[in-house]
Chains A and B, each alone.
Chain A
Amino acid sequence: MIKAKVHVFLKPSVLDPQGQTVTNSLHSLGYAKVVDTRISKYIELMFDSVDEQEVSAAVHSICDKLLANPNTEKYRFELEQVPST
């Protein structure tokens, strides 16, 4: 089995109001050195395959079609071989 660990995050040019709110909150907690916060999504996909090339192609396709919105988001992922349960 292969686990794909996918991160979907806003492009740097896109405002992140959630991140801004968290930064403000951290400031009020005393973490004055935090200057920016960006919130992203983390998605795990399990594949019944051991072929990393095949899985990598599938993850790219999945991200382009569904998991990420190309207008506002980018993605990256890593693959991890995991034993079948």
Chain B
Amino acid sequence: MRVSVITFPGSNCDHDAQEVFAQRGHSVKPVWHKDTDLGNPALVILPGGFSYGDYLRCGSIAKFSPIMAAVVRHAQAGGLLLGICNGFQILTEVGLLPGTLLMNRTLRFICQHQFIRVEKNDTPFTHGIALGTALDIPIAHKEGNYYIDAEGLKALQDEDGIVFRYCDRAGHVTPEANPNGSLDNIAGICNRQYNILGMMPHPERAASEAVVSQDGLQIIQALERYFGL
């Protein structure tokens, strides 16, 4: 699988994302935000971090980076696009995914292990993972409180746009398991065509033997299954 990982000024999970895909033998291309060519990848990743220092609103300046025109073209042509954390914030700012990531209910930066339940397994990113599986994937954000108006939330629910929900270890989606105040415990959503996924948890931080959880690997393996690799 050819994977292009975009680096914005202030991205800090770009190398982790490159590493976990490279370790599994995929061809990884780092792409600087001022570039305009993605290099014909199967998957584009907008990584976590603090693009442009989170100035104004998280992700609001990154949407004007030169590479974003190519990213939008790639996604609109059906190419796979994964936004992690700040990448998710950028996707909502660009308008490729609905809603907004507001400041956490607690006003605190939260950095912790977090279980998320797989709610959809017919997306390329969750292909073949058993529905209801609770994945242990860390979160690290201050603006992860997913908000959308009532009409938009209903559309997401009706059209099966919610891919991951915050849950407890046993997979129960409860208010107590919601770390940041996200509506409907939303941790990750996709578009109607299922080729764009935005998620606040960091699968690239849970995909190596060196760390506590390897559950993030399941998302990479799902993509491999989707491509028949």
User: Could you list which residues of chain A lie within 8 angstroms of chain B, going by C-beta atoms?
Assistant: 13-15, 17-18, 21, 66-67, 69, 71-72
Contacts and interface: CB of A to CB of B under 8 A. Distances in A.
In the complex, which of the residues B105, B147, B148, B181 has the most CB atoms of chain A within 10 Å of its own CB atom? B147
SS class, residues of chain A in contact with chain B: loop
A71 B147 contact: yes
Interface string B149-175: 100000000000000000000000000
Contacts of A71: 92, 98-100, 147-149
A69 B93 contact: yes
B154 to A, nearest CB: 15
Contact of A66 (B60, B106, B107, B147): B60
Given A17-B181, A18-B107, A21-B107, 7 more contacts: A14-B147, A17-B102, A17-B145, A18-B103, A69-B100, A71-B92, A72-B147
Contacts of B145: 17
Top 3 closest A-B pairs, CB basis? A71-B100, A72-B100, A17-B105
A72 B61 CA distance: 17
Interface of B: 56-57, 60-61, 64, 92-93, 98-100, 102-107, 145, 147-149, 181
Contact of B106 (A14, A17, A69): A17
A67 B56 contact: yes
Given A66-B60, A67-B56, A17 B100 contact: no
Nearest to B150: A13
A17 B103 contact: yes
Contacts of A15: 102, 105, 147, 181
A13 B148 CA distance: 10
Contacts, number: 37
SS class, residues of chain B in contact with chain A: loop
Nearest to B105: A17
A18 B145 CA distance: 13
A42 to B, nearest CB: 13
14 contacts: A13-B149, A14-B147, A17-B104, A17-B107, A18-B103, A18-B107, A66-B61, A69-B57, A69-B60, A69-B100, A71-B99, A71-B100, A71-B149, A72-B147
Nearest to B61: A66
In the complex, which of the residues B92, B102, B103 has the most CB atoms of chain A within 10 Å of its own CB atom? B102
Contacts of B102: 14-15, 17, 72
